[in-house]
């Protein structure tokens, strides 16, 4: 198992434990930050930084540029609650953007907001609040005001989507079954059909971690397929027949 696979597995388990702990005690476990990082990476295809880096928790390559991303999380046990503060942001540390991951009572992300560093700097250096200027802490509402909604969970059917990903096309998607036996050889390797199903999941905006889980392949294998999907044209590729 690759180090990245093991980290994701640990974070998945931490998410389950956090839910159980809250249901038993009524108190959060204290892993909101780690779960927020896992959810952001899983949903947005980010690369988590395994070795601790001051200032940022993940990276993302978009438009040929690699951005350093600081990830903050906020857990809400009550769906009617939307107040609170964003954790401390240190402007002395390197980062290009800040993500705020909002988690519901089951520790599942329901919204992700994104703010670029210049907007964060302008907010934190604005006079008037000691908590903001000295501790780098701002209200959730203030952060939302300077950020854009990067992703949100769609209520109908509990489907999640990335605001950067295209909407999947039409009826043929009904035949895209990750669990279909014809997707794999006896050795466990993907058949041509399995590879195409993998690609169609990426077409639908699924993350590598999600595709790995649905296809029952490792994160490393899903990353390999993601690279091949991008070389084939990514969202603009020509779909191949399943069979």
What's the CATH code of the domain at 101? Answer: 3.40.210
pLDDT at position 179 is: 72
pLDDT < 70: residue spans in the chain: 1-4, 79, 129-134, 155-176, 242-243
Q: Is residue 138 part of a domain?
A: yes
Residues 36 and 121 in one domain: yes
Q: Is residue 118 part of a domain?
A: yes
pLDDT at position 175 is: 53
Q: How far apart are CA 97 and CA 120, in angstroms?
A: 8
Q: Is residue 243 part of a domain?
A: no
Contact criterion met (CB below 8 Å) for 49 and 57: yes
Taking CA atoms, 242 is separated from 191, 193, 212, in Å, by 10, 5, 19
Residues 114 and 19 in one domain: yes
Residues 19 and 49 in one domain: yes
User: CB neighbours of 90 closer than 8 A, spacing ≥ 6?
Assistant: 55, 136
Could you list the beta-strand ranges (E) of the chain: 47-48, 58-62, 65-75, 85-86, 97-103, 109-116, 138-139, 148-153, 160-162
pLDDT at position 130 is: 61
Task: Please identify, among 162, 195, 216, the residue that sits at the C-terminal boundary of a domain.
Answer: 162
pLDDT at position 69 is: 96
Domain that holds residue 53: 3-162
pLDDT at position 133 is: 60
pLDDT at position 163 is: 46
Q: Among positive and negative, which fits the CA dihedral 213, 217, 221, 222? A: negative
pLDDT at position 160 is: 47
In the chain, the number of structural domains is 2
In tens, the pLDDT along 60-109 reads 988 889 999 999 999 988 767 778 889 899 999 999 999 999 998 888 89
Q: Is residue 191 part of a domain?
A: yes
Left, alpha or beta for 28 (phi > 0: left; psi -120 to 50: alpha)? Answer: beta
pLDDT at position 167 is: 36
In tens, the pLDDT along 215-236 reads 888 878 888 998 999 899 888 8
């Amino acid at each position: 198992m690759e180090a990245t696979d093991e980290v994701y597995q640990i974070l998945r388990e931490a998410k389950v434990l956090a839910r159980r702990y809250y249901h038993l005690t009524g108190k959060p476990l204290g892993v909101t930050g780690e779960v927020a990082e896992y959810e952001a990476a899983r949903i947005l295809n980010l690369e988590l930084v395994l070795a601790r880096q001051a200032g940022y928790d993940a990276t993302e390559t978009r438009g040929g540029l690699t951005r350093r991303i600081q990830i903050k999380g906020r857990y809400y046990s009550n769906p009617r609650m939307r107040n609170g503060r964003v954790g401390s942001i240190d402007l002395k540390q390197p980062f290009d953007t800040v993500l705020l991951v909002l988690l519901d009572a089951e520790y599942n992300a329901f919204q992700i907001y994104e703010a670029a560093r210049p907007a964060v700097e302008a907010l934190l250096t604005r006079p008037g609040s000691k908590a903001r200027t000295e501790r780098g802490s701002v209200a959730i509402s203030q952060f939302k005001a300077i950020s854009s909604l990067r992703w949100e969970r769609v209520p109908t059917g509990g489907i999640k989507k990335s605001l950067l990903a295209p909407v999947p096309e039409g009826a043929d998607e009904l035949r895209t079954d990750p669990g279909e036996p014809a997707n794999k050889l006896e050795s466990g390797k993907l058949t041509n059909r399995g590879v195409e199903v993998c690609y169609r999941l990426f077409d639908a905006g699924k993350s590598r971690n999600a595709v790995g889980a649905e296809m029952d392949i490792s994160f490393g294998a899903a990353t390999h397929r993601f690279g091949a999907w991008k070389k084939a044209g990514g969202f603009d590729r020509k779909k191949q027949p399943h069979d």
